[in-house]
Amino acid sequence: MDWKDKRVAVIGLARSGLAAARKLKEIGADPFLSDIRSKEELKDIITIISDFEYELGEHSGKILNNKLIIVSPGVPLDIPILEKAREKEIPIWSELEFGFQLVKDTSSKIIAITGSNGKSTTTSLIHHILKESGKNALLAGNIGLPFTSFPIEKGEYDFIVLEVSSFQLDAIERFKPDIAVLLNITPDHLNRYHTFDAYRSSKLRIFENQTENNFAILNYDDDECKQLNKTGLSKKIFFSVKEKVNEKVWFQDDKIWIKSVDMTSHLFSNDLPIRGLHNISNAVASSLVGVLCGLKPDQIIAALKSFKGLEHRLEWVAEIDERIFINDSKATNCVSVEKALTSFDKPINLIMGGSDKNENFSSLISLIKKNVINLIVLGETKTQIVRMFKKFVNTVEVSDLQEAVQTAYKISEPGEYILLSPGCASYDMYNNFEERGKHFKQLVNTIKK
């Protein structure tokens, strides 16, 4: 595509929108920026966008004077200006699609990972395995920096490893990963999609442009993934931690087995630094990607051993008076909380609550009855959570995270865990789960001091 002087509107000026705008200018296009938020709300980026033509506080008809629209993931695709753009047959892309258009004619291979849970850990682990094995690999997408923040059009990377969200997939056109990984599909973001079928359809778009030369890696232990053997044209490879479903990587006898043409090696699960059966599953999927990228089993196992996990994902924070504090702020849905509650062998003081995503908390009843000694509840969903669990566990309502941490510390006993695993989004009190997790760690360190 010839980008020289091409008029492109960018809607939404969060990280991916700003990255797209910079890249457009860099390659000679003429971007126009638009955000519904006011100048006061966006005061921190005014100097950044001062070199662009832009509008704030509205999405005006000026957007329709462009040949292409790039929309940020947080912008709903049913807003009026986008409906008008469709009527005028103006293409609407996500930043993910824009990045792909810049990469597709280079030699870089794209590995894209999506799923309701585990995608950040798996994406980071795949990147770690490739880097530790000497490959020039880029980590980008819905984790860290946006896809277009990097010189991807130059073809300098062997592999580009992308965490991909359903919101990003909603506005693709030709996006086609060489290897697509789908970890699971469970109800999430139902405040935006309204139905599970709509959410599922968005996730499955990761495969729609793949050909028989591409790979689709699917979780055989997930009921939704298990049914996708005939979806799309790509080669399907399933993985599992319950049975051997492929000849390359499997989990058996408490070991991850990895096989290549000339050797077979294994890793004991206790030697994997990240804990829980769900993380063993993530490691199996990541190892399978490594094999498909031509790595040797011993290279993959060495990388698995050195992976330290991610911030805000079952992150050990501190031990104070024999109480262990764990930051799992990334757990924004019930499935993530379930996985957290099965990762520890001692009683848990659980901090839950946040902004509402239409989660069905009843799925947690049996695990909370079994593993939780005290439930400390805060946020927009507080009343809903208390109503659900008060008959099964001691429940304490608090006003904010500071009170939650202090309360958990006071009512817990030595040898117990204090776990922040909210099961909800953070937007009622924080800008994102990272901010919530960092605040939790600050509060814990204050107690430690």
pLDDT digits (tens, 9 = 90+) for 197-244: 888 899 999 999 999 999 999 999 999 999 998 888 999 999 999 999
Give the mean pLDDT of 154-170.
Answer: 95
pLDDT band with cut points at 50, 70 and 90 for residue 189: low
Give the mean pLDDT of 378-400.
Answer: 95
For the whole model, what pTM was predicted? 0.81
Give the mean pLDDT of 399-405.
Answer: 97
Class of CATH domain 7-90: alpha beta
The CA angle 236-240-243, to the nearest 5 degrees, is 115
Helix (H) or strand (E) holding 204: helix 196-204
pLDDT band with cut points at 50, 70 and 90 for residue 335: confident
Structure confidence at residue 82 (pLDDT): 97
DSSP 221: T
Structure confidence at residue 40 (pLDDT): 94
User: b/e map of 157-167 (b: 16 or more CB within 10 Å)?
Assistant: bebbbbbbbbb
230 or 416: whose pLDDT is higher?
Answer: 416
| 430: CB partners within 8 A, 6+ apart | 436, 439
Whether residue 249 is predicted with pLDDT greater than 70 in this model: the reply is yes
Whether residue 26 is predicted with pLDDT greater than 70 in this model: the reply is yes
| 189: CB partners within 8 A, 6+ apart | 166, 167, 199, 357
Give the mean pLDDT of 238-259.
Answer: 97
420 or 449: whose pLDDT is higher?
Answer: 420
Whether residue 45 is predicted with pLDDT greater than 80 in this model: the reply is yes
- Reported as half-sphere exposure (CB side, CA atoms, 13 A), residue 442 has a value of 8
CA distance 200 to 185: 7
**Percent of the chain, pLDDT > 90?**
85
Structure confidence at residue 295 (pLDDT): 97
pLDDT band with cut points at 50, 70 and 90 for residue 142: confident
- Which of 33-42, 242-251, 302-311 is the least confident region? 302-311
- Reported as half-sphere exposure (CB side, CA atoms, 13 A), residue 282 has a value of 31
Structure confidence at residue 306 (pLDDT): 94
- Which of 107-116, 201-210, 263-272, 338-347 is the least confident region? 338-347
Helix (H) or strand (E) holding 93: strand 92-94
Structure confidence at residue 190 (pLDDT): 66
Whether residue 113 is predicted with pLDDT greater than 90 in this model: the reply is yes
Give the mean pLDDT of 66-92.
Answer: 96
Structure confidence at residue 117 (pLDDT): 85
Topology of the domain comprising 97-306: UDP-N-acetylmuramoyl-L-alanine:D-glutamate ligase (3.40.1190)
Structure confidence at residue 181 (pLDDT): 98
User: b/e map of 312-342 (b: 16 or more CB within 10 Å)?
Assistant: bbbbebeebeebbbbbbbbbbbbbbbbbbbe
Whether residue 27 is predicted with pLDDT greater than 90 in this model: the reply is yes
Alpha helices for 294-428 (secondary structure H): 297-306, 334-341, 365-371, 382-389, 401-411
Strands (E), 128-176: 137-141, 159-163
Whether residue 362 is predicted with pLDDT greater than 90 in this model: the reply is yes
Sheet with 179-182, side-by-side order of all strands: 137-141, 159-163, 109-114, 179-182, 215-219, 235-239
Structure confidence at residue 187 (pLDDT): 73
92 or 309: whose pLDDT is higher?
Answer: 92
Do 97-306 and 7-90 fall under one CATH topology?
Answer: no
Closest-CA residue to 424 (of 347, 363, 373, 358): 358
Whether residue 191 is predicted with pLDDT greater than 70 in this model: the reply is no
Structure confidence at residue 391 (pLDDT): 93
CA distance 208 to 388: 40
Structural domain spans, the chain = 7-90, 97-306, 315-448
275's tokens: 């804990």
Structure confidence at residue 437 (pLDDT): 97
304's tokens: 């698995």
- The CATH classification number of 315-448 equals 3.90.190.20
Structure confidence at residue 311 (pLDDT): 84
Give the mean pLDDT of 304-326.
Answer: 90
| 268: CB partners within 8 A, 6+ apart | 254, 255
pLDDT band with cut points at 50, 70 and 90 for residue 188: low
Which residue, chain included where needed, has tokens 């994997």? Answer: 272
